[in-house]
Structure 1
Amino acid sequence: MSMNLPNLLTWLRIFAIPLFVGIFYLPPSWLSPLGQNLVATIIFSGAAITDWLDGYLARTLNQTSAFGAFLDPVADKLMVAAALIVLVHLERLDAPIALIIIGREITVSALREWMAQIGKAKSVAVSFLGKIKTASQMMAILLLLYHDPIEDYFNPQIVGTWLIYLAAILTLWSMIYYLKAAIPQALQNP
């Protein structure tokens, strides 16, 4: 395992998960509900930024590694799953939507692993559709975490709910896309 700056940022993202979840279990005398929402949104935003930053730094500093390529998507999926579970617990997100998104992540990760083992990893490389899904999902999670209306002009819960439903639709669509790419390989490599 190589410990470089990109991998350190990825580890920080993983270590931030208990802090992120724990924010919502602090007593109101320590942090108000609005404060909890704000701090959790900031932590999740930081995680999203470090997700982009660690990949950028790995390429720019020529510090890519097999371990980093493995750990980065694991960190992403753990953070997103934790956020979705927290949002379900806070009754800001319906459980079936969280299950669709988490289930897709597990399925596509397993599919990518299998395709890599048979030498066909490029068949299930990240698609543009997957990137749109991720952007919609991340914005939705941020808005649902913040939750509280901003004056009378903007309700993050409403916009976040629409975006998470869009993300769920794109999640299913992208999973079908990846499965279609993998089916011919499954038939050839039983």
Structure 2
Amino acid sequence: MRLNLPNVLTLVRLIAAPMVGLVFLFLPRPFADWVALILFMTAAFTDYVDGALARAWKQETKFGAMLDPIADKAMVVIALAVLLALYGVDFASGSLALKPIFLIPILLILFREIFVSGLREFLGASAKELKVTKLAKWKTTVQMCAIGLLFCWGLFAHYLWALSIGMDASLIEAVMAGTVEDEFNLRWILFGYQWSELLGIALLWLSALLTAITGWDYFNKARPYLKEPT
């Protein structure tokens, strides 16, 4: 095993993955949300940087090739689990049911990751045929953008809730209508809240669709190796 800067960045991304969840155990909110967002976005940025540096400096290694997809999956899977725990429960209904708009795409993504990982493990040496495709790379990019936006949405939701305390509905409506001066940037916070939620959920569903497509593509490529001997 040879450590170089690209491999160190990949290791940092792998270590940062569980920290995205652990910060909520040790830090108060919204400070924990800020730390989780910064950790995740920094780790997502290293996903691009480590590969670019390894190719530019000709420092591609087997260790890096092995660790990079593991770090990516750990980042995505842990972040999705955290988001589902934080925002996937419908407290308003009183039933504590999971929200389908979060649960369905997250389950699809998790199922695909487990399925493809198991497929690669079963194929062993033949798994070299299951090379990461460009569409799979786009899938990872869309997933990371969706997760980043949903962490932002959680922050906007917190500040919107904090500002609404002590403000009655008529005052909030007056601020939004522009008839009362917006001293607390309520208008911008509501704008960020609405659009980060809309784009985050839309990209989450898009990433789930890309996840299903790439998973089926990998399965088709693996089918010749799954045939029983005649």
How would you bin the TM-score normalised by the shorter chain?
A: 0.7 to 0.9
Give, in whole Å, the separation in 1 of the partners of 2:137 and 2:6.
21
In the superposition, the TM-score normalised over structure 1's length comes to: 0.85
Give the aligned partner of residue 52 of structure 1. Answer: 48
Give the aligned partner of residue 114 of structure 2. Answer: 106
8 Å CA contact 2:17–2:71 kept in 1: the answer is: no
Instruction: State the superposition RMSD in angstroms.
Output: 2.3
Give, in whole Å, the separation in 2 of the partners of 1:114 and 1:144.
34
Amino acid at match of 1:68: G
Q: 2:204 aligns with which of 154, 161, 164?
A: 164
8 Å CA contact 2:37–2:152 kept in 1: the answer is: yes
Instruction: Describe the shift of the 1:173–1:43 C-alpha distance in structure 2 as closer, same or farther (beyond 3 A).
Output: same
Q: 1:67 aligns with which of 63, 66, 74?
A: 63
Give the aligned partner of residue 171 of structure 2. Answer: none
Give, in whole Å, the separation in 2 of the partners of 1:113 and 1:65.
20
Give, in whole Å, the separation in 1 of the partners of 2:71 and 2:140.
14
Give, in whole Å, the separation in 2 of the partners of 1:128 and 1:176.
15
Q: Percent identity?
A: 40
Q: 1:127 aligns with which of 102, 125, 133?
A: 133
Give, in whole Å, the separation in 2 of the partners of 1:41 and 1:27.
13
Amino acid at match of 2:18: P
Amino acid at match of 1:145: F
- 1:127-166 CA-to-partner distances (Å, cap 9, x unmatched) read 2321232222111100111112653434212211111011
For this pair of structures, how many residues does the alignment match?
Answer: 184
Give the aligned partner of residue 153 of structure 1. Answer: 191
In the superposition, the TM-score normalised over structure 2's length comes to: 0.71
* More displaced stretch, 74-83 vs 108-117: 108-117
2:143 is the alignment partner of 1:137? yes
Give, in whole Å, the separation in 2 of the partners of 1:66 and 1:38.
34
Amino acid at match of 1:64: E
Q: 2:102 aligns with which of 94, 103, 118?
A: 94
Q: Larger C-alpha radius of gyration, 1 or 2?
A: 2
Instruction: Describe the shift of the 1:70–1:137 C-alpha distance in structure 2 as closer, same or farther (beyond 3 A).
Output: same
